[in-house]
């Protein structure tokens, strides 16, 4: 006797569209989606416009390409009981921004990448600013290295086997043994640094936000041009970022 299927074809096609767009951060048009998914254009038109009406997709008015919206981030934001991570973090982020005058960002891990979920822009005319939802690697920047270092040893080894250690600047760590050592130093210090390892001329310093039972929830960091955040300030700013991360952790776990 043939087993009954529980699949919903229309839902599966919608999920196929979302998964395909997740692999194309530059976006895709209706014809491209139809070709890649072997669907007719009318079906793709209905699916994409339904998702856009529900704010799961956004469409570039010039290129007509669809992209995933930031609504997906709000669905997955951590809650500790009835406490919202972003709501509790924002006052602390603003205070850290006022102390350092630099951009402060908040992120978490999604798969083998980090993703920025909130930011407070710096006070200088020239400041670091990115789009919410931007994804970043785990090996070449301070928040990514914090996310790596706060794993248990076996999970760290598995992650290092999976992720590509791309060379993005002359200072990027591309050797797995060197990255293991870096993670150990992050754990001992309590904060991670990015010495222009992802982008030339940009430094950042990050620290982990913990939940109950030492569960890593998020990471907070300061990003600044290297001239305003030289290596000589890493220690002092690192302490400020650690204090802010600890304050967010306390607010989430009263």
Q: CB under 8 Å to 222, separation ≥6 — which residues?
A: 96, 100, 102, 103, 104, 105, 204, 205, 206, 229, 237, 240, 241
Instruction: Specify the CATH number for 74-252; select among 3.40.630.30, 3.40.50.970, 3.30.450.40, 3.90.1150.10.
Output: 3.30.450.40
Same fold yes or no, 9-69 and 74-252: no
Q: Which CATH class for the 9-69 domain?
A: mainly alpha
Opening angle at CA 129, ends 92 and 90, nearest 5 = 15
Confidence tier at 23 by pLDDT (50, 70, 90): confident
Residue 199, Cα to own-chain centre: how many angstroms?
16
Mean pLDDT of the chain: 91
What is the Cα–Cα distance from 113 to 165, expressed in whole angstroms?
12
> pLDDT, tens digit, for every residue of 48-82?
999 999 988 989 888 999 988 867 666 655 555 56
Percent of the chain whose predicted confidence (pLDDT) is above 70: 93
Give the pLDDT mean for 97-106. 98
**pLDDT in the model for residue 248:** 96
Domain boundaries, the chain: 9-69, 74-252
The contacts of residue 195 (CB under 8 Å, 6+ apart) are 171, 203, 231
Q: How far is CA 148 from CA 10, 177, 240, in A?
A: 38, 13, 21
pLDDT score, position 24: 83
Say which residues have a Cβ less than 8 Å from residue 244's Cβ, sequence separation at least 6: 92, 93, 95, 96, 104, 207, 220
What are the start-end ranges of the H helices in 54-175?
Answer: 71-76, 85-100, 142-149, 153-162
Residues 6+ apart with CB under 8 A from 95: 244
């Amino acid at each position: 006797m043939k087993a009954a299927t529980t699949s919903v074809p229309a839902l599966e096609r919608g999920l196929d569209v979302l998964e395909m767009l997740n692999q194309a951060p530059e976006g895709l048009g209706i014809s491209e989606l139809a070709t890649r998914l072997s669907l007719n254009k009318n079906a793709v038109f209905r699916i994409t416009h339904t998702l856009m009406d529900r704010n799961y997709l956004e469409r570039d008015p010039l290129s007509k390409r669809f992209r995933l919206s930031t609504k997906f981030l709000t669905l997955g934001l951590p809650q500790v009981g009835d406490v919202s991570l972003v709501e509790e973090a924002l006052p602390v982020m603003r205070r850290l921004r006022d102390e350092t005058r630099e951009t402060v960002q908040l992120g978490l891990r999604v798969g083998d990448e980090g993703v920025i979920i909130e930011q407070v822009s710096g006070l200088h005319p020239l400041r670091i600013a990115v789009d919410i939802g931007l994804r970043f690697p785990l090996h070449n920047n301070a928040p990514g290295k914090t996310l790596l270092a706060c794993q248990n040893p076996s999970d760290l080894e598995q992650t290092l086997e999976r992720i590509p250690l791309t060379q993005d600047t002359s200072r990027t760590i591309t050797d797995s043994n060197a990255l293991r050592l870096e993670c150990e130093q992050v754990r001992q210090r309590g904060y991670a640094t990015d010495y222009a390892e992802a982008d030339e001329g940009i430094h950042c310093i990050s620290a982990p936000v913990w939940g109950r039972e030492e569960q890593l929830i998020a990471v907070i960091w300061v990003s600044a041009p290297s001239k305003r955040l030289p290596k000589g300030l890493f220690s002092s700013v690192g302490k400020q970022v650690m204090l802010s991360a600890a304050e967010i952790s306390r607010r989430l776990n009263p």
